[in-house]
Amino acid sequence: MTGAKALIQALEKEGVDVVFGLPGGANLPIYDALVDANFRHILVRHEQSAAHMADGYARIKRKAGVCFATSGPGATNLITGIATAYADSSPIVAVTGQVPLAMIGKDAFQETDIIGVANPCTKYSFQPRAAAEIPEMIKKAVYIAESGRPGPVLVDIPKDVQQATADMKFPELIKVRGYNPNVEADLSEMARAVELLLNAERPIIMAGGGVILSGAFSELQALAELVKIPVVTTFKGKGAFPENHPLAMGPIGMHGHAEANKIIVEADCIVAVGARFSDRSVGKFDEFGKGMSIIHLDIDPAEIGKNKSVDVALVGDVKSSLRTLVKMFSKKMIKKDSDNPWLKRRKELIQYYAETLKDYPREITAKKSLKKLRELLPANAIVTTEVGQCQMWASLHFDVITPGTFFSSTGLGTMGFGFPASIGAKAAKPNVPVVDIAGDGSFNMTENSLAVSVLDKLPVIVFLMNNYMLGMVAQWQRTFYNRRYSGVHQHNCPDYVKIADAYGAQGIRAESMHELDKAIKAALKSDVATVIDIPIDPEEDVYPFVAPGTGLKDMIVGA
Amino acid sequence: MFATTVQKESWHIVSALVENKPGVLFRVTNLFRARSFNIESITVGSTEQQDLSRMTITTNSDEKTLDQLVKQLRKLIDVIEVKVLDTDKTVYRELALIKIRAVDPTTRSEIVNYATIFRGNILDIGKETITVEITGTPDKIDAFKNLVEHYGIAQLSRTGVSALPRGGVES
């Protein structure tokens, strides 16, 4: 059997049902073997999108997404997608072609040291030197990508290794020495956490992306309800907890919900679950959590104390740690009634900001559009976003009801992520509506994936809040650079309805709330992708805003 | 922008057992670069087990940075085990080759005398230089270097520290 065939079979054995990719000189043998594969191949128009599709697929399927690219530029085009997956701990396996072994290091045509290039943004990488190594490497690649704190793994296969034949052994079990992802939290530390939490008067849960990665939704909800703790999330953790739940407060951070930013500053004990205290979430590191006790649950020991020193660290899968905590609490007498001053404070803050925050004065705004979208989408619809103002508006104004149905490029903040990622998500769950909450600047970057959406029958909805502006940059220039706009105008180009039309997708312009209502309903019924072009005033800013380098308490709530 | 409390830096020896295969040193050094860990020296060599190498890393770091350095190293899949060695319970040595300018006979005999006192070896004598090998703790090598510096050091090469815990049989 050839190395290329072994690759395909190894992927089949891992249960892979779809691969996103693009062929080239150095992966021709793989594409030849692909003809006989029992999984689907989706041809992308740019490799960056292949990585984002694999990422979107992985986040919804909660197993590794796979993408293929050729050597050199094909491989480097994947890098943005790989770095995005790395920053958000998403399991993807990227398989690249490489020049033949004898050509490596000779600056051959389309040769790049992709292992070297990708090193800082991969969890691990492999380069088989013989065809017989491929089956075990693929099994290890999938295992490493999916287990522990997930992340991207690169497999770089020289062309002659793809072509070479060998007697292949497909191992059932593998062991990676030096990699031990399954740790259980220390029970004595658990007891300390319970003590701290029982003695706290103003406890808060800060749920991060780790809750979504481990699928610890019911465990998180059980803990919050049992101990009656309000729940904020990080932006990556958005949707870890139903945002219509009576204890929910929404995301904190630079563009967090005002009430969430406010309440976390007032808390005396923070339970951070699968969160990494990123600057975008917590603001100034030194200021965050001052005078509070912090309990940190995370699967990655290196996250403990990285950005924030904590009082109790529970290292382990947050699902199992939360389950243990719930058990320990069930045995305690909890006096806290749902009427305690802290929960009253929660209601008070929500009400205060609901009355204080002013809506942007226009018939159609980002906020109203997103509220309308929520109203018309089923609770289980999957929503992702582009990056910029659209993303932060989504965080602020689109409530996630079913846990785990929302994701975004939160760590790397990759423009162009949302649309291909939504196609990947649709491939993972074809029967559920999938929406990309988009802005024009970001959608522009990967809009050629419309071809994929149409041809591969993966109809998603691009909810395009269009101000023909790199809006977030413009907002910062308005706020910090005295309205000296530089490099932000898109000058009404292109016409997105025509763009959609050109690809055989459906383009609808919605200039009023009534038209938007109709457009969303038409999109939900459509069997091709729909781009809903919603003109947004370029002066509509995202608020609240915590300026970089300041603390959450310095939040600006409006212009 | 995100100033943290300044902690006292001190000298540490970190010992890591790693897979003996291509690319591992690259992964380790790339990690140090990417996370701005400041490394004083790093040595890699074979161990009693054919498939494992030992890396000895010395660093001037505060406790928090050291903690991160160790945790991030452990996270690397090719790294099997990481320990911060207690310098009181550790034997550690470095080797230095120092080529010193020495033309006149007085200088030459002084250098030979110093080398003897430091239990060094004279490896080579040329018309204008003497090359001395000194083995010891980094402090001892620094002391010798300071002593002969005024003659003029033509070239110097240090290996970095290699270390093992005292006694016991554990790795």
Decide if A557 is inside a domain: no
Decide if A349 is inside a domain: yes
Q: Are B77 and A124 a contacting pair at CB < 8 A?
A: yes
Provide the pLDDT for residue B1: 36
**Angle at B124 (CA atoms; ends B119, B126), nearest 5 degrees:** 135
Residues B57 and B18 occupy one common structural domain? yes
Q: How distant is the alpha carbon of residue B99 from its chain centre?
A: 19
Half-sphere exposure of residue A179: CA atoms within 13 angstroms, side-chain side: 19
The 10s digit of each residue's pLDDT in B142-158 is 999 999 999 999 999 99
Provide the pLDDT for residue A538: 96
Distance of CA A192 to CAs A182, A198, A229, A296, A311, Å?
22, 10, 18, 12, 9
Instruction: Please give the residue range of the domain that contains residue B124.
Output: 91-164
- CA–CA gap between residue A141 and residue A123 (Å, rounded): 10
Decide if B4 is inside a domain: no
Q: Are A119 and B27 a contacting pair at CB < 8 A?
A: yes
Q: Is B170 on the interface with A (CB under 8 A)?
A: no
Provide the pLDDT for residue A533: 98
**Catalytic positions of A:** 47, 109-110, 159, 472
User: Among B45, B61, B85, which residue terminates a domain?
Assistant: B85
Decide if A170 is inside a domain: no
Half-sphere exposure of residue A170: CA atoms within 13 angstroms, side-chain side: 13
Nearest residue to A260 via CA among A277, A282, A290: A282
Write the DSSP string, A369-392: HHHHHHHHS-TT-EEEE-SSHHHH
Residues B23 and B79 occupy one common structural domain? yes
Q: Which of A113, A114, A117, A119 to mutate to test the interface with B (most CBs of B within 10 A)?
A: A119
Decide if A285 is inside a domain: yes
Q: Which of B1, B2, B49 to mutate to test the interface with A (most CBs of A within 10 A)?
A: B2
Residues B19 and B78 occupy one common structural domain? yes
**If you ran DSSP here, which 8-state letter would residue A364 be given?**
S
Q: Which of A121, A126, A147, A306 to mutate to test the interface with B (most CBs of B within 10 A)?
A: A306
- Domain of B40: which CATH number? 3.30.70.260
**If you ran DSSP here, which 8-state letter would residue A335 be given?**
-
- B34 vs chain A: nearest CA distance in angstroms? 7
Q: Is B67 on the interface with A (CB under 8 A)?
A: yes
β-strands B90-101, B129-136: how paired? antiparallel
Distance of CA A342 to CAs A197, A226, A258, A271, Å?
14, 15, 17, 16
Instruction: Please give the residue range of the domain that contains residue A9.
Output: 3-163
**Chain B CA closest to residue A287:** B2
Decide if B53 is inside a domain: yes
- CA–CA gap between residue A177 and residue B51 (Å, rounded): 11
- CA–CA gap between residue A472 and residue A475 (Å, rounded): 5
- Domain of A246: which CATH number? 3.40.50.1220
**Chain A CA closest to residue B31:** A120
Residues A140 and A81 occupy one common structural domain? yes
Q: Is B77 on the interface with A (CB under 8 A)?
A: yes
Phi, psi of A164 (to 5 degrees): -65, 150
Alpha helices in A88-177, H assignment, sequence order? 114-118, 134-146, 159-163
User: Among B25, B55, B85, which residue terminates a domain?
Assistant: B85
Q: Are A305 and B64 a contacting pair at CB < 8 A?
A: yes
Classify the phi-psi angles of A338: left when phi > 0, otherwise alpha if psi is within -120 to 50, otherwise beta: alpha
Provide the pLDDT for residue A332: 78
- Domain of B109: which CATH number? 3.30.70.1150
Residues B81 and B97 occupy one common structural domain? no
- Domain of A75: which CATH number? 3.40.50.970
Decide if A16 is inside a domain: yes
What are the residue ranges in chain A where pLDDT is below 50? none
Decide if B135 is inside a domain: yes
B3, B67, B78: residue with CB nearest A286: B3
The 10s digit of each residue's pLDDT in B82-132 is 999 999 999 999 999 999 999 999 999 999 999 999 999 999 999 999 999
Residues of chain A neighbouring B67 (CB-CB closer than 8 A)? 305
Residues B125 and B148 occupy one common structural domain? yes
The 10s digit of each residue's pLDDT in B16-75 is 999 999 999 999 999 999 999 999 999 999 999 999 999 999 999 999 999 999 999 999
- B117 vs chain A: nearest CA distance in angstroms? 45
β-strands A92-98, A153-158: how paired? parallel
Residues A344 and A286 occupy one common structural domain? yes
Provide the pLDDT for residue B110: 97
Provide the pLDDT for residue B3: 43
Residues A206 and A338 occupy one common structural domain? yes
Contact A78, A94 (CB under 8 A): yes
Size of interface A-B (CB pairs under 8 A): 50
Q: What is the CA radius of gyration of chain A?
A: 24
Decide if B43 is inside a domain: yes
- CA–CA gap between residue B72 and residue B84 (Å, rounded): 13
Residues B105 and B160 occupy one common structural domain? yes
Decide if B171 is inside a domain: no
The 10s digit of each residue's pLDDT in A358-398 is 899 999 999 999 999 999 999 999 999 999 999 999 999 99
Q: Is A109 exposed, middle or buried (0-12, 13-18, 19+ CB in 10 A)?
A: exposed
Provide the pLDDT for residue B169: 61
Decide if B169 is inside a domain: no
What is the number of structural domains in chain B? 2
Residues A325 and A384 occupy one common structural domain? no
Q: Is B3 on the interface with A (CB under 8 A)?
A: yes
Residues B120 and B73 occupy one common structural domain? no
pTM of the shown model: 0.96
Residues B56 and B120 occupy one common structural domain? no
Interface residues from chain A to B (CB-CB < 8 Å): 115-116, 119-120, 123-124, 144, 176-179, 279, 284-286, 300-302, 304-306, 309, 548-549
- B2 vs chain A: nearest CA distance in angstroms? 6
Residues of chain A neighbouring B75 (CB-CB closer than 8 A)? 300-302
- A441 vs chain B: nearest CA distance in angstroms? 29
Residues A382 and A267 occupy one common structural domain? no
- B12 vs chain A: nearest CA distance in angstroms? 19
- CA–CA gap between residue A268 and residue A200 (Å, rounded): 6
User: Among B85, B115, B135, which residue terminates a domain?
Assistant: B85
Q: Are B1 and A549 a contacting pair at CB < 8 A?
A: yes
B1, B67, B77: residue with CB nearest A179: B77
Residues B160 and B95 occupy one common structural domain? yes
Q: Which amino acid makes up residue B134?
A: I
User: Among A336, A355, A374, which residue terminates a domain?
Assistant: A355
Whether residue B171 is predicted with pLDDT greater than 70 in this model: the reply is no
Q: Are B1 and A116 a contacting pair at CB < 8 A?
A: no
Provide the pLDDT for residue A335: 62
Residues of chain B neighbouring A179 (CB-CB closer than 8 A)? 77
Q: How distant is the alpha carbon of residue A319 from its chain centre?
A: 19
Decide if A177 is inside a domain: no
Decide if A543 is inside a domain: yes
What is the number of structural domains in chain A? 3
Print burial letters for B111-147: b (CB count within 10 Å at least 16), e (below 16).
beebbeebebeeeeeeeebbbbebebebebbeebbee
Residues A381 and A486 occupy one common structural domain? yes
Copy the structure tokens of residue A435.
């929406």
Nearest residue to A385 via CA among A559, A542, A152, A493: A542
Q: Are B2 and A279 a contacting pair at CB < 8 A?
A: yes
Contact A297, A185 (CB under 8 A): yes
Q: Is B21 on the interface with A (CB under 8 A)?
A: no
Contact B135, B95 (CB under 8 A): yes
Residues A104 and A10 occupy one common structural domain? yes
- Intra-chain end-to-end CA distance of chain A, in Å: 66
Residues B55 and B103 occupy one common structural domain? no
Residues A127 and A259 occupy one common structural domain? no
Decide if A118 is inside a domain: yes
Residues B56 and B104 occupy one common structural domain? no
- CA–CA gap between residue A430 and residue A526 (Å, rounded): 13
**Chain A CA closest to residue B33:** A120
Q: Is A124 exposed, middle or buried (0-12, 13-18, 19+ CB in 10 A)?
A: buried
- B64 vs chain A: nearest CA distance in angstroms? 8
Residues A347 and A474 occupy one common structural domain? no
Residues A62 and A122 occupy one common structural domain? yes
How large a percentage of chain B has pLDDT more than 70? 95
Residues A11 and A153 occupy one common structural domain? yes
Residues of chain B neighbouring A144 (CB-CB closer than 8 A)? 77
Whether residue B5 is predicted with pLDDT greater than 60 in this model: the reply is no
Contact A235, A280 (CB under 8 A): yes
- CA–CA gap between residue A250 and residue A15 (Å, rounded): 36
Q: Is B62 on the interface with A (CB under 8 A)?
A: no
Residues A270 and A136 occupy one common structural domain? no
What residue has token string 């740790």? A183
Backbone CA torsion sign across A447, A450, A452, A458: positive
